[in-house]
Chains A and B, each alone.
Chain A
Amino acid sequence: MPSYIFWLFSTIMLIGGAAVIAFRNPVASALSMVTCFVGLAGLFIGLSAFFVGIIQILVYTGAVMVLFLFIIMLLDLKDEEKRARGLAPLAAGLALVVAFVVQLVGILSQSADKTAPDLDKQTLTNAAAQFPKDSKIAEALTDGRLPDIHLIGHTLFTQYNLPLQLLGVLLLVATIGVVTLSKRQAD
């Protein structure tokens, strides 16, 4: 990914993120979060993680943000009124964040940097040797394409089969939990 596209998407993402905490209206915050996640999905796709980029859009900006907006409108939240609050919590919070950023910059300026290894036709063709000869993955790799979704599926259903099943149970438990929580208690 060329540098200017990286910085473009990073700026979109960071401005979106800052807008989430800057807006007083919750609906505006939720919509800035959509902007933030679209920028993030651009970064994922620039890292050749196409599947993760797509599910970032589908799951987060599609499902999760609609859920947030639905709850905001269900509760009929107004703009937060300005209220006087102590200077101490504000200063403590800002100090925490500034300390975090200073540490981050300090560590990154000392750690060894790395450029992305090439994913050119030669590397991909060599990588095809790990897969059965006539499989779809090997074919795509020999053509010099990165079959991202096939590789994710391959990893998920061979090495991560048990965690995937457990995830299904987790989603079931979450569904039952939500139904129980939102049932009106009998008085």
Chain B
Amino acid sequence: MPTLNDYLLVSGLLFAIGLAGVVLRRNIIIVFMCLELMLSAANLSLVAFSRFNTLNGLPDYNAQMLVFFVITVAAAEVAVGLAIIVALYRARQTIHTDELTSLKG
């Protein structure tokens, strides 16, 4: 049987992969996908805590509620973020972060 630390390790590794993508990649759509990976890694640890800390003999459903809200907010965030990326592409014809330097001093 996998233990709580196994789940936390896997969830942390997924978070690290997402972090690496956000820091290393320059394509803004890939950066956005990696943000989703990081949110999902947090969800995995929440669900693992919910299963491993039972409340009156049942999994703690408060944690799964938080996961439900995170997934919904992430879906809304993806919709708005992709609309911003489309608007950005219309204005600049690029989604490469190296070429978006208007705010650079």
Q: Residues on A close to B: CB < 8 A? A: 1-3, 6-7, 10, 13-14, 17-18, 20-21, 26, 29-30, 33, 36-37, 40, 43-44, 47-49, 51-52, 55-56, 59-60, 63-64, 67-68, 71-72, 74-75, 77, 80, 83, 85, 89-90, 92-94, 96-97, 100-101, 104-105, 108, 111, 113-117, 119, 123-124, 126-127, 130, 146, 151-152, 155-156, 159-160, 163, 167, 170-171, 174-175, 177-178, 181-182
**Residues of B close to A177: CB separation below 8 A:** 80, 83
**Residues of A close to B29: CB separation below 8 A:** 26, 68, 71-72, 77
Partner of B57, one of A14, A59, A114, A124: A124
Partner of B17, one of A21, A90, A182: A21
A13-B10, A17-B37 are known contacts. Are A80 and B27 too (CB-CB below 8 A)?
yes
Whether the Cβ atoms of B27 and A105 lie closer than 8 Å is: no
- Mostly, the B contact residues are helix
**Residues of A close to B3: CB separation below 8 A:** 113-116
A14-B10, A14-B14 are known contacts. Are A49 and B23 too (CB-CB below 8 A)?
no
- Mostly, the A contact residues are helix
The chain A residue sitting closest to B72, CB to CB, is A167
**Residues of A close to B27: CB separation below 8 A:** 26, 77, 80
**Residues of B close to A96: CB separation below 8 A:** 19, 23
Compute how far the CA of A14 lies from the CA of B71 in the bound complex, rounded to whole angstroms: 20
Q: Residues on B close to A: CB < 8 A? A: 1-10, 12-21, 23-27, 29-30, 32-34, 36-37, 40, 43-44, 47-48, 50-52, 54, 56-59, 61-62, 64-65, 67-69, 71-80, 82-87, 89, 95-96, 98
